[in-house]
Amino acid sequence: MKNIKISEKYKQILNRYNHFLMAVVGEEGIYTYANVSEYDGLDLVDELRSSGGHELDLDTKSEGYNLLNDLVDGFLRENTIEFVDYLYCDECTGYGYVNVRYNPFNSTFSVNMDIGTRGYNTYEHDSTFERLKNQPQGQWGERYAELKKLGDSNFIEKMKKDYGNTLEISYEGGGDSGQINDYGDTDHGSVRINSDIEYVGYEVIATHYSGWENNEGGDGRITFDFENKTVTLHHTENFDDSETEELGEFKLV
C-alpha cells in the first residue's frame, strides 16, 4: 500500500467527512472512474458517487466532498502516463477504464484498471463448386445468385483463361465496412480481379459469415481451384474483451 500525504488541515476535513460517509454508505464507500486512451490520455467521466446500491445524492458543495474529489482528480492526472502504458501491447485495443473506490473507514483508495483486449478465432471451410451452386436460401433471405455461376462451364473456362487453375483473393473489414481487395494471387503472380469473381467471393463469405464486417470485423482468404472445382475459405473473426489489472491501494495520511 502506498501513502499519499495530506496537510493537517485536510486531515481534519477528511476525518469529519469520513464519519459522515461511514454512517450513510458504509465500507462500500464512494467511487468514480475515468476513460483512458492511447491517443487522448485520461478523461474523468464523473464526480464521486455513492456505491454499494445506495441511491444517495452526495452534497457536491460540501468541503469534505470537494477535498476528496480534488484528491482523486489529482491522483488520476498525476498517474496518467502510467495508466496509458498499460494499453501498449499487441493484444490491447488502446482503451481502458480506471476505477477508484474510496473506503472511509481507513481513508484508502482501491484502484484497478479494466483494459480492452483484442482476440481472434480462425476457421477453415472447404466446399465444392457443385455444393456452392446449389446453396439454399440464407436465413436472412440471401439467394446467392452469384454462386450459381460456379455451375456454368463457360464461366469456369473464362476464369481459367483469366487466372489459371487457381486464384486466391483476400478481404478485410471492421466497423461495419469491409471489402475484397482489388488484387489476387495466381500461379503466375498478382493480378487485378474482375467484378464477376469478386461478387462470387462475397457470397462465399456470406454462406458462413453474413455480417462479417460488422463491429470488430475480420479478414480472410478465398482460394478458388478452377481445375478441381473447389473453394477453400480461411476466415479470421476478431473480438474485443477486457482484463482487469489491480493497481493497488493508496492511503491518505
Measured distance CA(115)–CA(109) in Å, rounded: 19
Q: Are residues 155 and 100 in the same domain?
A: no
Beta-strand pair 108-128/230-252: antiparallel
Task: Give how many domains the chain has, as a whole number.
Answer: 2
Whether residue 16 is found in the same domain as residue 68: yes
Indicate if the pLDDT at residue 140 is higher than 80.
no
User: Would you tell me the crossing angle of helices 195-209 and 153-163 to the nearest 10 degrees?
Assistant: 110
CA angle, 129 then 131 then 137, to 5°? 120
Q: Is 70 found in the same domain as 154? A: no
pTM for this prediction: 0.67
Task: Identify whether residues 87 and 161 lie together within a single domain.
Answer: no
Does 251 reside within a domain? no
Residues above pLDDT 70, as percent of the chain: 95
Find the domain containing 141 and state its range: 120-240
Q: Whole-angstrom Cα distance, residue 169 to residue 185?
A: 7
| CB distance 100 to 252 below 8 Å | no
- Of the residues 106, 132, 158, which one is the last residue of a structural domain? 106
Interval 164-202: pLDDT, tens:
999 999 999 988 899 999 999 999 899 999 999 999 999
The C-alpha angle 67, 69, 72, rounded to 5 degrees, equals 110
Band of residue 56 on the pLDDT scale cut at 50, 70, 90: low
Domain shared by 138 and 233, yes or no: yes
Q: Assess if residue 113 is contained within a domain.
A: no
Query: Same structural domain for residues 97 and 151?
Result: no
User: Exposed, middle or buried, 170 (CB in 10 Å: 0-12/13-18/19+)?
Assistant: middle
Q: Are residues 78 and 172 in the same domain?
A: no
Query: Same domain for 68 and 131?
Result: no
| Selection from 82-91, 141-150, 223-232 with the highest mean pLDDT | 223-232
Same domain? 25 vs 125: no
Torsion on CA atoms 84, 85, 86, 90, rounded to nearest 10? 110
Higher pLDDT, 145 or 90: 145
In a domain, 146, yes or no: yes
pLDDT tier at 141 (50, 70, 90 boundaries)? low
Give the percent of the chain with pLDDT over 90: 65
Does residue 150 sit in the same domain as residue 195?
yes
